[in-house]
Amino acid sequence: MGGDGARRIVLEARGITKRFGTVVANDHVDLTIRAGELHAILGENGAGKTTLMRILFGELQPDEGEIYLNGQRVHFRSPRDALRQGIGMVHQERKLIPAHTALENIVLGHPKKRPILNLKEAERDAQALCERYGFRIPLHAKVWQLSEGEKQIVEIIKELYQGARILILDEPTSVLSPPEIVKLLESLTNMAKEDLAVIPFITHKLPVVLEYCDRVTILRRGRVVAEMETRQATEQTLASAMVGREVMLQLERVEVPLGEPVVQVQDLWVRDDRGLFAVQGLSFEIRTGEIFGIAGVAGNGQEPLAEALAGLRPVERGSITLSGRDITRAPVLERWRQGLGYIPTERRDVGSIPNLSLVDNVLLNYHFEPELSQWGVLATGRARALTERILQEYSVVAAGPDAPARSLSGGNLQKVILGRVLSRPPRFLIACLPTHGLDVGAAEFVQQRLLDAKREGMAILLISEDLDEILALSDRIAAIYEGQFTGIVSAREATKELVGELMAGLRRERV
Amino acid sequence: MRAVIGSYTIRIERRADLRWWHTVVASVLAILVSLFLVGFAFLRAGADPLEVYREIIAYAFVSSFGLPQTINRATFVLLAAFALIVPLRAGLWNIGMPGQLYAATLAAFGVAYAFGAKASVNAQLNGAIVIPLMVIAGLIASGLYGAIAGFLRGRLQVNEIVTTMMLNWAMLWIVAHMIREGGPFMGRTAEGEGFTLPTAIRIPQILGLPLTAYAAVLLALVLTWFLAKTTLGYRIRTFGESPRAAEYAGIYATRISTLVFTLGGMFAGLAGFHYFTGVPGVYKIPKNYGEFADFSFYGLITGLIARNNPIAAIPVAILFGGVSGGARFMQGKLRLAFGIDYALLGVLMIMMVAFQALAQYSVRIERVVTAPARQVGLERGESRVESPRH
């Protein structure tokens, strides 16, 4: 494999430029895609990936530049137009109808309009596609019954069924568990072998790029800063090119002597929104200076656990003790006063309020504190000063404390949330998916701050779907599967394989 | 949105920052466009639109009889607008101004009744004691009546729009029961209206206007400050923007929704209190109390046009207070068809709401320029890496 000049060029973009007002989102971007290659487009959030992608599949028109498809100059007027010419797109959010079967979703919107739907014939065609590329999908299952990985495969088949020869994938790995990622990329590699061109756009997960992709084009601030074969690249060169400076990929594990237990959880049972037990009898304790990582595929009870600890979800049975005090039924603010800090999974809408200023967003963690609310009146001067301090200490890129939260990128927003939670400071921190969706630079920053907090003696519960992150940061790792721990292992004995098997429920240690 | 016409592109985009003068310009344009459009209706009715508008303005904003009336009606609309604004800041819709304003009015008249005010217009009562008691009773009653919807919403997720609407009907029938034939508050003349308040316990006036009119303007300032600067105001705004973020921050849905509906109810209550105990020539629950229920919905429109801003609601309330009175007067004076004053008001409201929505977008017209593409200086297959450090 690889980009020897002999392979046929199927898609070429020359000098693509796109401006939004004064912002140049794409600045003379050149891109060459060959048949049969898996060609990653890499870049941090805001590097211009989305704009380029939208131009390639016809959702946006470039201000300058040309696109050539099989040597022919083309103008895509719409995504439908692009698809007709063989360019398919799989979005980051699923665009399927949950109540319909996989097959019905695949057939939906097919450009060859026929008055009578021939599902038999469609099934034959879809089945043939699956066999050809090695997908295993229950075509007659309803979409809501499928896993995230399977839904994505359905979208890929849908695009292929409609005749796509070039497939663009937006962050294909972002919602998948590690085994699903491997499965998906193997399928994509198979597809590439069949003379299709596959273009995944990726923000993080550099190892994936190195292992499976043939070539990579790296964008930074709207420009192509590098184009190379992955066999010439290392994780370090990719990361540095993306970020524009040297990046520490290896975090230095800090060993601090463990102190008193800060939080003790005994036989915790919590129901989810449907009334089912999502957390089934979990027990653990976390000491000062310890990071306790919970590894698991999304939806195995991590979210209800975090919410129950934070006071947002009632506890059915069991107890939570924080610094020797029973907080099982304490209201949210009582827990915060006791030293609990919570970084929620959803950065927008739970962790922040898009339309309010950063000052107001910082106040979410402070509005009840006497120094910031005297006689029921907000101490606006102090709130501003606090916000400015957080923006500075956490090197947040923002127009200022009055900027609305929606104007911040995901990474900068997470820094604000982290800053306002850590500045209280808590004794016990719950960090849910703290680097999810962040680019390399911001993720590194957040992880470093968590380690700093640990060094200062904070007890941290780290919930993450990124196994690499869990392994790199945690002192002890618990694998969660269907609301129960399948094993708790110390960092020394933990390997990717062991924890991977535990979180997939394939194996169970005595807890 | 984008449209290409010839070599020009017309772009319509949402404004990133809506400035206050955008809103002002939009409102003025909306007024001009409505006057132009309704002008055709007046022409059709055989009247000169310019004369019509002159009459309205002369009556509502100049004449010594019309101007106080305008201000009194505007005060009523403004307070009703606050009743919308406070809950709406928390993301909840208060459609219960009629119910809440009559809850306050009945309570206030109840206090007066208890002091024997029904006996005579000249009843000897101590205003310094009775009037404050009437205010307090009115606020408590309207606050509680509003709180019902807020509590049900917060605790049981009962839709507040439905609740407040139903509470309106309940209260309007209670009013009917109280003032119509045989009701305890029935006036001595028994004409289906309430008893007239004795002179001693009417709201005092300054420069011919009841104190409540001045209080309303002061309240606009206090309310603005309350929402922007106080902890409770912050919690209301937070809850309105994102209930889930509020929950995260330990702000409780039941408390906030009960609080905003209590406050909203109190503002509506003040509107009723103002009009029925303070406006010269009224001083009672009138026979056409149903019309005032409808009139309180002008507050709803006012709040929406003012984009939830209590101070911006003042000019809007004055406009509606003036035009509603002035147009009715003009219709009578020029002997035009019944209802043409409502046509003017209706078009005015629709245009102002529509223009507020349009003000959020900007329109740009650009010439399409196709620049030559840059030379591609890269050999196929060649690798290229820029230094990450510049």
pLDDT of residue A114: 65
- Could you tell me which residues come within 8 angstroms of residue B385 by beta carbon, excluding any fewer than 6 positions away? A225, A226, A227, A228, A237, A241
To the nearest whole number, what is the mean pLDDT of chain B? 89
Residue A243, pLDDT > 70, answer yes
Cα–Cα dist A208/B357, whole Å:
47
At residue B80, what is the residue type?
Answer: A
pLDDT of residue A198: 84
Which of 361-420 (A) contact B at CB < 8 A? Answer: 363-365, 367-368, 373, 376-378, 380
Residue B365, pLDDT > 90, answer no
Residue A163, pLDDT > 60, answer yes
Query: CB A226 to CB B385 under 8 A?
Result: yes
Of the two residues A129 and A420, the one the predictor is more confident about is A420
Cα–Cα dist B213/B221, whole Å:
13
Residue B372, pLDDT > 70, answer no
pLDDT of residue A251: 67
Cβ-defined contacts of B114-119 (< 8 Å, 24+): B115/B201, B117/B195, B117/B197, B117/B198, B117/B201, B118/B185, B118/B188, B118/B195
Confidence tier at A511 by pLDDT (50, 70, 90): low
Query: What is the arithmetic mean of pLDDT over A16-42?
Result: 87
- Could you tell me which residues come within 8 angstroms of residue B370 by beta carbon, excluding any fewer than 6 positions away? A64
Query: What is the arithmetic mean of pLDDT over B13-18?
Result: 75
Query: CB A356 to CB B237 under 8 A?
Result: yes
Topology, domain B48-335: ABC transporter involved in vitamin B12 uptake, BtuC (1.10.3470)
Residue A328, pLDDT > 50, answer yes
Q: Where are the alpha helices (DSSP H) in A276-423?
A: 302-310, 332-337, 358-363, 380-393, 410-422
- B-chain residues near A380 (CB < 8 A): 229
CA distance, residue B13 to nearest chain A CA (Å): 11
Query: CB B388 to CB A225 under 8 A?
Result: yes
Determine contact: A240 vs chain B, CB below 8 A. yes
Chain B positions contacting chain A at CB under 8 Å are 229-232, 234-235, 237-238, 241-242, 244-245, 247-251, 370-371, 373-374, 376, 378, 380-381, 383-386, 388-390
A282 three-class SS: strand
Residue A389, pLDDT > 90, answer yes
- A-chain residues near B235 (CB < 8 A): 367
Query: What is the arithmetic mean of pLDDT over A48-72?
Result: 88
ipTM above 0.90 for this complex: no
Alpha-carbon Rg for chain A, nearest whole angstrom, is 24
Residue A65, pLDDT > 60, answer yes
Residue B374, pLDDT > 70, answer no
Residue B208, pLDDT > 60, answer yes
Q: Where are the alpha helices (DSSP H) in chain B?
A: 20-44, 49-57, 66-89, 97-114, 127-156, 160-179, 211-229, 231-241, 243-248, 253-278, 289-305, 313-333, 340-358
Cα–Cα dist B185/B296, whole Å:
22
pLDDT of residue B62: 93
Query: CB B231 to CB A5 under 8 A?
Result: no
CA distance, residue A212 to nearest chain B CA (Å): 18
Q: Where are the alpha helices (DSSP H) in A26-147?
A: 49-56, 79-84, 102-107, 119-133
For B225, nearest residue in chain A (alpha carbons): A377
A441-499 pLDDT, tens digit each: 888 899 999 999 999 999 999 999 888 889 999 999 999 999 999 999 998 888 888 88
CATH class of domain segment(s) A9-243: alpha beta
pLDDT of residue A249: 60
Determine contact: A30 vs chain B, CB below 8 A. yes
Paired tokens of A342: 């919570």
Most A CBs within 10 Å, among B259, B376, B379, to test the A interface: B376
Cβ-contact B158, B152 below 8 angstroms: yes
Highest average pLDDT, of A110-119, A484-493, B147-156, comes from B147-156
Query: CB A346 to CB B244 under 8 A?
Result: yes
**What percent of chain A has pLDDT above 70?**
95
- B-chain residues near A342 (CB < 8 A): 248
Query: CB A378 to CB B229 under 8 A?
Result: yes
Q: CA dist A160 to A74, A83, A105, A194, Å? A: 20, 10, 13, 12
A390-401 pLDDT, tens digit each: 999 998 988 899
pLDDT of residue B368: 60
Query: CB A228 to CB B385 under 8 A?
Result: yes
Beta strand pairing call for B209-210 and A64-69? unpaired
- Domain A256-339+426-511 in CATH: superfamily? P-loop containing nucleotide triphosphate hydrolases (3.40.50.300)
Query: What is the arithmetic mean of pLDDT over A424-441?
Result: 90
Of the two residues A506 and A489, the one the predictor is more confident about is A489
Residue B385, pLDDT > 60, answer no
Residues of chain A with CATH 3.40.50.300: 9-243, 256-339+426-511
Determine contact: A246 vs chain B, CB below 8 A. yes
Q: What angle do CA B361, B362, B364 make, to 5 degrees?
A: 145
Cβ-contact B235, B256 below 8 angstroms: yes
Beta strand pairing call for A428-432 and A340-343? parallel
- B-chain residues near A244 (CB < 8 A): 388-390
Q: Where are the domains of chain B?
A: 48-335
pLDDT of residue A401: 94
pLDDT of residue B377: 40
pLDDT of residue A2: 42
Partners of B216 in beta bridges:
none
Query: CB A15 to CB B242 under 8 A?
Result: no
Residue A439, pLDDT > 90, answer no
Paired tokens of A35: 């048949």
pTM for this entry: 0.78
Confidence tier at B383 by pLDDT (50, 70, 90): very low
To the nearest whole number, what is the mean pLDDT of chain A? 87
pLDDT of residue A510: 63
Shortest CB distance from A365 goes to which of B232, B249, B376? Answer: B249
Of the two residues B81 and A91, the one the predictor is more confident about is B81
